[in-house]
Amino acid sequence: MTNRVDQCRRYSPSGVGYGAVVMTLWRIGKQRMRWIAPLAVALSFGFSAAAGFAHDTPVAITFDDVPLFGLYAPPGEAEQITARLLNGFKRHHWPVTGFVNETQLEGSQRPERTALLSSWLDAGMDLGNHSYSHLSLTNTPVDAYIADVARGERVTKVLLAARGRTEHWYRHPYLETGATPDAKQKFEQWLADHGYRIAPVSMENSDWKFAEVYDQALARGEHQRADQIRQEYLEYTARVIPWYQKAALGLLGREPSLCSPAPCQPAEFGQHRRIGGDSETGPSTPCHARPGDGGSSLSHPG
């Protein structure tokens, strides 16, 4: 079965109107869902214009720190936030991968939070490993880090297996791949031995910095200030994409890959229906990413 990081929809400004959609897990706090869905749509148009894409661009859409960052959201609110996110993904036919920190399942709300992960899978999305407790590989002995990653697959692996699927995407917390070549090699060998592939990031837009002040504004009831921060985040993100493209051209001689594509495969996510020549549903050309060869999505180092 094809994995969701592998399924990179080609978005075209001349197609159904989506630009290059690049998503990350915004640090979702109380009341934040009221703008996350509109923000995703806004980014889909804004990124295309900012980057000046004149051609179809495959993008892997991923979210870190699933099921829901933080332990403070009551089950009802967490369920509502997750449902609205997943409904948006399905409505726009975006195959999405969420990277899980299973430490978020601990406590009295464990059944409800585990159900959130099931909701992702039942919606047709994929789940990957983001370690159990979001450790830093730079500051953690590699053996302890490996133990934490192994602990972080216990629930997710069972949920996937119940649906005939396997877990084999890993994203490093903080995007830290090891303080020494030996540590990096040892951990990557462990990943390979356990069937994992690394899902790196091509661009970083520091969303966590905006999220902190956004949450503070909401906590104070300063909704106008929160809306201003939201707009500033959109504008900043629109600026960093061409910056990364230019930097990659100077350093690597090519633009950064949002999803390094191999030959495209038949669509697994969604069905196709054409009206007047325009594809109205589903990714018409989902393709296999090579995450180890160029990156997958824009994300904060989280």
Structurally, how many domains does the chain consist of?
A: 1
How do the pLDDT tens digits run along the chain, 302 residues long? 334 444 444 333 222 222 223 333 333 344 444 444 444 443 443 444 444 444 566 778 888 999 976 545 677 888 988 999 999 999 999 899 999 999 999 988 899 999 999 999 999 999 999 999 999 999 999 999 999 999 999 999 999 999 999 999 999 999 999 999 999 999 999 999 999 999 988 888 888 889 889 888 988 999 999 999 999 999 999 999 889 888 888 888 877 665 543 333 323 333 322 222 222 222 322 333 333 323 334 444 45
Residue 259's nearest CA partner among 295, 216, 212 is 295
Kindly state whether residue 1 falls inside one of the protein's structural domains: no
Kindly state whether residue 57 falls inside one of the protein's structural domains: yes
DSSP string, 210-261: HHHHHHHHHHTT-HHHHHHHHHHHHHHHHHHHHHHHHHHHHHHSSPPPSS-E
* Peptide linkage before 67 cis (omega within 30 of 0): yes
Angle at which helix 75-92 crosses helix 33-51, to 10 degrees, equals 30
Kindly state whether residue 148 falls inside one of the protein's structural domains: yes
Kindly state whether residue 269 falls inside one of the protein's structural domains: yes
Kindly state whether residue 2 falls inside one of the protein's structural domains: no
CB atoms within 10 A of CB 155: 19
Q: Residue 215 belongs to what domain range? A: 9-298
Rounded Cα–Cα distance for residues 183 and 235 (Å): 38
Kindly state whether residue 186 falls inside one of the protein's structural domains: yes
